[in-house]
C-alpha cells in the first residue's frame, strides 16, 4: 500500500488515531509485528483502547495489515473542521 | 485471624481460560488463580497460527504480553471430584478449588483413513501442529489436504505460500457449500488455483500409503494415486468433554450451563468451545467455535466466579477471516444444508450460520468483491462480505440489533450500488437514532 503524505505526522495525529475493535481482533499480533515504531498495537486492542502511544506515526501499516479489519483510522471530532 | 483467600482453578489455557483469569484478577486481587492446560506453550493466538504458517508472522509474535499474575501449569487434568472440590492431574497431584472453570476447548478429529497414523499426517490444532507443518513443508514437496471450513483453507494457503505442490481434495463439487453460495465458493477456488493449488472435486481420500513409517502417497476413491510427503486433515473439531463426563455434568451437544455459565455442578463454570449455546430460533443446543465468543464467555464466567451476577446472552455469530487472501466476514444466518468435507463443526465456525429460514437473498459482486445479504420479512438476518469490507460493520450492527429495514426494502431488491447506499443509509439513520 503506497500512501503519499502531503502533511506531517503531527497534523495527521491531531486529526485522528487508530481505534481497535475487540470483536474482530484475534490477537494474532500482525499489527505489532509490522509497527515500525515498535508499538504493541495488539495490546491496545486486548484492552479495547485506541492506539494512544506518542510513538505512533499514523503510517497506517497496522490498519493495512490487520487480516480481520479490526483496526481503523478514525478522525477525532476536535480539529477536523474543514478536513476532507 | 487468617484471611480467606479464594482459590480458582481453570482447566484450559486458551482464550476462554485467560479471559476468565483476567476477569477474576480484576475483581479479586488476592485470589490464587491456577490455570492448568495440556498445551506446553500456554496461551497464544490460535487464529494467528494461520499467519505464522504462511510466514507473515514470527512464532514469538503469537504470544501475548502476560496479563497475570496467574499460576500456569502444564499438565493433563484426569480427574474431577465435584463433591471434594478438587481436580487431579495426570502426575497424581491434587488441586483444591473454591470455584472451577472448565475451558477445555475443542480438538481436531483424526482422519478415519487407513494410514492416518503415519508420520507426515498432520492436523492444525495448536502450535506444535503448526511447527510440524512448517518442518515438513518445503519447496519441491507435495501435499494432499482434505477437509473443509476455515482450517482446511488455512493449511492449503500456507502450503502454497511455502512452495509446496498442493492438492486439495473436496468431497462435493465446491468449497464450504453450507456457508458460502456457489459464486463465493468459486471466487475462493479460483484464487486457490491462481496460487497453484490443484483442486480435486468429488474426490475422497481412500488410503494413505507409507514407506518406512512416513507418508509416501495417497489413493483417492477414484483410483488416482498421488505421491506426497504430507497429508493434512481438517475435517472438523469436537468439544473436549472427557472431564465434564467424568464428573457427571449435564451434557447435550456440549457442556450445558445456565445463563450465568454455571454448569449443573455447584461452583463449576464453563466457557468457550466446550459450552453449548441455544439457537434463538430452533431453541436447540448448538455449537460455536468462535474466538470472540470464547473471550466473552470467559470474561463473564470469570466475573461470576468472583461474585458478580452477569447474564450471558448470545450474540449473533460473527467471524472475520481470510479465505484465499480475501477478507471475509460471515454474520448471522447465511446458508443451509450439509458439508460432506466436515464430519463436525470447523474452527471459527457457528452452526447457526447454517440455520436459514425462508429469506430473500440479494447479492452483488465485482471482479474481486462480493456481498450477499439475507433479508427475512423486515430485518436482515445474515450476510457474507468478501473483499471490500465497507459494508461489514454496518451490516453487523443492523443484523445484531435486528434493525427494521422496511424503509429500504424496495431498494434492497435492486442489487448493486443502490443496495450498498441503502444499507449504509439505514445504518447511519439507525446509529444516529441510538446516539440521541
Q: CB–CB of B57 and A28 under 8 A?
A: yes
Find the closest chain A residue to B19 by CA distance: A46
> For residues B357 and B177, is the Cβ–Cβ distance under 8 A?
no
Among candidates B35, B213, B204, B37, which has minimal Cα distance to B126? B37
ipTM of the complex: 0.86
How near does any CA of chain A get to the CA of B156, in Å?
17
The tens digit of pLDDT for each residue in B348-362 reads 888 888 877 767 777
Average pLDDT over residues B44-73: 89
- pTM for this prediction: 0.91
Q: CB–CB of A40 and B291 under 8 A?
A: no
Residue matched to cell numbers 497464544: B44
Q: Which member of B65, B291, B318 has the closest CB to residue A26?
A: B291
Residues of B in contact with A26 (CB under 8 A): 45-48, 291-292
Instruction: Measure the CA–CA gap between B230 and B269, rounded to whole angstroms.
Output: 40
Strand bridging mode B142-147 / B230-234:
parallel
Instruction: Measure the CA–CA gap between B100 and B85, rounded to whole angstroms.
Output: 8
Strand bridging mode B370-376 / B360-365:
antiparallel
In sequence order, what DSSP letters do the residues of A35-56 get, joined into one string? -TT---HHHHHHTT-----TT-
Q: Where are the domains of chain A?
A: 17-75
Residues of B in contact with A43 (CB under 8 A): 64-65
pLDDT at B75: 93
* pLDDT digit string (tens) for chain A, length 84 residues: 555 656 666 666 667 889 999 889 999 999 999 999 999 999 999 988 999 998 998 888 999 999 998 999 887 765 544 444
pLDDT at B411: 81
How near does any CA of chain B get to the CA of A36, in Å?
15
Residues of B in contact with A69 (CB under 8 A): 320, 327, 329, 389, 392
pLDDT at A14: 67
Q: Which CATH architecture has domain A17-75?
A: 2-Layer Sandwich (3.30)
How near does any CA of chain B get to the CA of A70, in Å?
9
Which burial class, exposed, middle or buried, applies to B212 when counting CB atoms under 10 A from its CB (0-12, 13-18, 19+)? exposed
The tens digit of pLDDT for each residue in B215-249 reads 999 999 999 999 999 999 999 999 999 999 999 99
Residues of B in contact with A22 (CB under 8 A): 292, 295
Amino acid at each position: 500500500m503506497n500512501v503519499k503524505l502531503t502533511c506531517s505526522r503531527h497534523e495527521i495525529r491531531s486529526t485522528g488515531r487508530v481505534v481497535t475493535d475487540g470483536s474482530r481482533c484475534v490477537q494474532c499480533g500482525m499489527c505489532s509485528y509490522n509497527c515500525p515504531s515498535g508499538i504493541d498495537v495488539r495490546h491496545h486492542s486486548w484492552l479495547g483502547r485506541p492506539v494512544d502511544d506518542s510513538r505512533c506515526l499514523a503510517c497506517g501499516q497496522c490498519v493495512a495489515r490487520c487480516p480481520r479489519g479490526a483496526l481503523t483510522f478514525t478522525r477525532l471530532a476536535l480539529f477536523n473542521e474543514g478536513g476532507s | 485471624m487468617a484471611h480467606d483467600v479464594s482459590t480458582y482453578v481453570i482447566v484450559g489455557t486458551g482464550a476462554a481460560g485467560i479471559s476468565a483469569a483476567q476477569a477474576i484478577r480484576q475483581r479479586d486481587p488476592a485470589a490464587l488463580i491456577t490455570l492448568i492446560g495440556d498445551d506446553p506453550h500456554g496461551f497464544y493466538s490460535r487464529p494467528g497460527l494461520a499467519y505464522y504458517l504462511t510466514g507473515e508472522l514470527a512464532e514469538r509474535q503469537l504470544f501475548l504480553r502476560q496479563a497475570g499474575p496467574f499460576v500456569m501449569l502444564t499438565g493433563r487434568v484426569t480427574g474431577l471430584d465435584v463433591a471434594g472440590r478438587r481436580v487431579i492431574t495426570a502426575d497424581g497431584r491434587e488441586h483444591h478449588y473454591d470455584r472451577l472453570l472448565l475451558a477445555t476447548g475443542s480438538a481436531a478429529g483424526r482422519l478415519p483413513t487407513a494410514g492416518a497414523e503415519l508420520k507426515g499426517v498432520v492436523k492444525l490444532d495448536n502450535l506444535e501442529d503448526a511447527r510440524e507443518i512448517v518442518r515438513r513443508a518445503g519447496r519441491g514437496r507435495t501435499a494432499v489436504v482434505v477437509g473443509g471450513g476455515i482450517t482446511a483453507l488455512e493449511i492449503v494457503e500456507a502450503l502454497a505460500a511455502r512452495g509446496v505442490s498442493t492438492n486439495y481434495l473436496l468431497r462435493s463439487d465446491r468449497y464450504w457449500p453450507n456457508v458460502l453460495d456457489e459464486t463465493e465458493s468459486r471466487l475462493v477456488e479460483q484464487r486457490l488455483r491462481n496460487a497453484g493449488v490443484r483442486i480435486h472435486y468429488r474426490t475422497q481420500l481412500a488410503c494413505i500409503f507409507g514407506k518406512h513409517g512416513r507418508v509416501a502417497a495417497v489413493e483417492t476413491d477414484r483410483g488416482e494415486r498421488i505421491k506426497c510427503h504430507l497429508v493434512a486433515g481438517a475435517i472438523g473439531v469436537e468439544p473436549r468433554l472427557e472431564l465434564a463426563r467424568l464428573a457427571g455434568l449435564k451434557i447435550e451437544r456440549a457442556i450445558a450451563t445456565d445463563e450465568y455459565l454455571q454448569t449443573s455442578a455447584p461452583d463449576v463454570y464453563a466457557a468457550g468451545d466446550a459450552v453449548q449455546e441455544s439457537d434463538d430460533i430452533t431453541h436447540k443446543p448448538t455449537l460455536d467455535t468462535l474466538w470472540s465468543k470464547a473471550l466473552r464467555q470467559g470474561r463473564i464466567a470469570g466475573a461470576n466466579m468472583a461474585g458478580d451476577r452477569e447474564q450471558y446472552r448470545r450474540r449473533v455469530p460473527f467471524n472475520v477471516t481470510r479465505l484465499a487472501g480475501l477478507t471475509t466476514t460471515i454474520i448471522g444466518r447465511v446458508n443451509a444444508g450439509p458439508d460432506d468435507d466436515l464430519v463436525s463443526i470447523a474452527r471459527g465456525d457457528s452452526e447457526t450460520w447454517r440455520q436459514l429460514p425462508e429469506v430473500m437473498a440479494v447479492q452483488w459482486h465485482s471482479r474481486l468483491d462480493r456481498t450477499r445479504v439475507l433479508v427475512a420479512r423486515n430485518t436482515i438476518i445474515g450476510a457474507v462480505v468478501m473483499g471490500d469490507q465497507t459494508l461489514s460493520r454496518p451490516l453487523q450492527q443492523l443484523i445484531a440489533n435486528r434493525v427494521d429495514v422496511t424503509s429500504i426494502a424496495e431498494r434492497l431488491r435492486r442489487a448493486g450500488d443502490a443496495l450498498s447506499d441503502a444499507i449504509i443509509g439505514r445504518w447511519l439513520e439507525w446509529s444516529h437514532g441510538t446516539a440521541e
